[in-house]
Amino acid sequence: RKEVEQDPGPFNVPEGATVAFNCTYSNSASQSFFWYRQDCRKEPKLLMSVYSSGNEDGRFTAQLNRASQYISLLIRDSKLSDSATYLCVVRPSRNTGNQFYFGTGTSLTVIP
């Protein structure tokens, strides 16, 4: 079983739409969770960390459900510039060093 699993999409949504991505992880002892954004042929960039209580940053809301071992990202009022691949990233444990596990990414295209 993969450490992190994501629906690869693609998701094609109109401007202004709300879209949600989910991600599941296999290691229940995982410590840290992130959403990264990767544009085509570019390096991943941190979008937001995911906290246990859930957190929001503008149009982006991240949720963590430890019991079900999944993470979600909600994007409201989609913009054309939101088109990218969104990577779910999990850090299992401080004891494993700084190793991060990446999902395959979910592709989002926002259509005018």
Partner 1 sequence: GAVVSQHPSWVICKSGTSVKIECRSLDFQATTMFWYRQFPKQSLMLMATSNEGSKATYEQGVEKDKFLINHASLTLSTLTVTSAHPEDSSFYICSVPGLAGGRGNEQYFGPGTRLTVT
**3-state SS of the chain?**
CCCEEECCCCEEEECCCCEEEEEEECCCCCCEEEEEEECCCCCCEEEEEECCCCEEECCEEEEEECCCCEEEEEECCCCHHHCEEEEEEEECCHHHCCCCEECCCEEEEEEC
Please state the closest distance from residue 103 (CB atom) to partner 1, in A.
6
Please state the closest distance from residue 18 (CB atom) to partner 1, in A.
25
> Which residue type does 76 have?
R
Please say which residue, 70 or 76, places its beta carbon nearer to partner 1: 70
- Candidates 17-25, 27-35, 64-72, 75-83 — which segment interacts with partner 1 by CB under 8 A? 27-35
Single residue of 43, 53, 58, 67 touching partner 1 by CB under 8 A = 43
End-to-end CA distance of the chain: 38
- Candidates 12-20, 26-34, 58-66, 67-75 — which segment interacts with partner 1 by CB under 8 A? 26-34
| Interface positions with partner 1 (CB under 8 A) | 4, 8, 31-32, 34, 41-46, 49, 87, 91, 94, 97-100, 102-105
